[in-house]
Amino acid sequence: MALLFGLGTAVMFACSTLMSSRSIRMIGNFSVIGWMMLFGTIVTIPFLYASGWPDISPKNIAVLAFAGVGNVAGLLLSFRALQIGKVGLVAPIVSTEGALAAVMSTLSGESLKLSVIFALIVVVAGVVIAAIAPDPAPIAHENAPKAVLLSTCASLCYASTLFATGGLSGEIPTAWLSLPPRLAGVLFITLPLAFSKKLRISRSALPLVIGSGITEVTGFTCFAIGAGSSIAITSVIASQFAPIAALLAFILFKERLGRLQIGGIALIIVGVAALTVITS
């Protein structure tokens, strides 16, 4: 179950990343997030109804609100990174979110083990190498160092929200845990853009934003199901959405990476997998 749904998570997140990377260049990252969160909320409603109304304390409501805002911030940063960087470069850095959340959890209860420190060094080294490596085939408006910085900040935002909500999975139904990011996106992105008549859409972008919204919710659900069997296995497999996205970007969009860039990305993937196993 963990292997199967971990793979499902990776595929869904990879597809969502690929579709978002195209649609943001058509209608802009704010409009893409606005539509994604709207469609994601619509998809989530039946699951909310099936789960029933949960008993949520004021403290947990505050945690969920933080998670919602943090997730939207992460989306804005990662989508901006995808506007100026390749999928194969951005996705692996963003995929460190789960490992960073695990490290935060470890730090909250005990000092870091030597193995965790070493794995972190491997991840950081991979990020640095990927940032400074020459690009053999730059894309339009590419700025690899800035894309790496934005991706890193996005990963920290995602990790903070995962850490904040990590203790709620046993108390609150999965559907309700997935609602805050989408609701925050609708309240702070979709509605303001709609009222100001700046919510853009085009015929070519519409299926992409619908697909992004659906695959993101599906990926989150797959992860929750797989984690019920094994958090470690599901997390490691799910984090491999990065190489899947990079491979699909190469096949579909002809995005090429240099050998040094690939080496840095490989270090990130190995470091993330090691961190996930060590801290689980």
Select the more confidently predicted residue: 28 or 130: 28
What is the percentage of the chain residues whose pLDDT exceeds 90? 34
Residue 154 pLDDT level (bands cut at 50, 70, 90): very high
Residue 211 pLDDT level (bands cut at 50, 70, 90): very high
Whether 27 has a pLDDT exceeding 90, the answer reads yes
pLDDT (mean) for 189-218: 93
Give, in order, the Cα–Cα distances in Å from 46 to each of 51, 181, 215. Answer: 9, 17, 16
- How high is the pLDDT of residue 84? 92
pLDDT (mean) for 17-24: 93
Tracing tokens 């008993």 back to the chain, one arrives at 55
- What is the C-alpha separation between 92 and 74, in angstroms, rounded? 15
Tell me which of 15-24, 36-45, 137-146 is least confident.
137-146
The set of residues, in sequence order, having a beta carbon less than 8 Å from that of 231 and lying 6+ positions away, is 280
Whether 110 has a pLDDT exceeding 60, the answer reads no
- How high is the pLDDT of residue 24? 93
Over the chain, what is the mean pLDDT?
Answer: 86
Q: Which domain does 144 fall in, by range?
A: 2-279
Pull the structure tokens for residue 200.
């853009």
Tell me which of 1-10, 27-36, 60-69, 218-227 is least confident.
218-227
- How high is the pLDDT of residue 239? 78
Whether 229 has a pLDDT exceeding 80, the answer reads no
3-class DSSP state for residue 61?
helix
Whether 231 has a pLDDT exceeding 80, the answer reads no
- What is the C-alpha separation between 178 and 55, in angstroms, rounded? 16
Burial of 109 (0-12, 13-18, 19+ CB in 10 A): exposed
pLDDT (mean) for 102-127: 78
Residue (of 170, 177, 16) closest to 8 by Cα position: 16
Pull the structure tokens for residue 126.
């991979």
pLDDT (mean) for 122-144: 84
The set of residues, in sequence order, having a beta carbon less than 8 Å from that of 189 and lying 6+ positions away, is 30, 33, 34, 37, 72
Structural domain count of the chain = 1
- What is the C-alpha separation between 24 and 29, in angstroms, rounded? 5
Which stretch of DSSP H or E encloses residue 240? none
Residue 187 pLDDT level (bands cut at 50, 70, 90): very high
- How high is the pLDDT of residue 21? 92
Residue (of 107, 110, 77, 85) closest to 246 by Cα position: 85
pLDDT (mean) for 89-111: 79
Which stretch of DSSP H or E encloses residue 120? helix 114-132
pLDDT tens by residue, 247-278: 899 889 888 888 888 898 889 888 888 877 77
pTM across the whole model: 0.85
Give, in order, the Cα–Cα distances in Å from 30 to each of 76, 206, 228. Answer: 7, 14, 34
pLDDT tens by residue, 37-86: 999 899 889 888 888 888 888 888 998 899 899 989 999 999 999 999 99
- What is the C-alpha separation between 206 and 219, in angstroms, rounded? 20
Angle (deg, nearest 10), helices 231-238 and 259-279:
170
- The secondary structure of residue 187, as a DSSP letter, is I
Taking a C-beta distance cutoff of 8 angstroms, is the pair 207, 20 a contact?
no
Taking a C-beta distance cutoff of 8 angstroms, is the pair 208, 27 a contact?
no
- What is the C-alpha separation between 223 and 2, in angstroms, rounded? 8
- How high is the pLDDT of residue 111? 62
Which stretch of DSSP H or E encloses residue 161? helix 144-165
pLDDT (mean) for 30-38: 93
pLDDT (mean) for 86-115: 80
Tracing tokens 């996930």 back to the chain, one arrives at 276
- What is the C-alpha separation between 54 and 170, in angstroms, rounded? 12
pLDDT (mean) for 207-219: 90
- What is the C-alpha separation between 207 and 227, in angstroms, rounded? 30
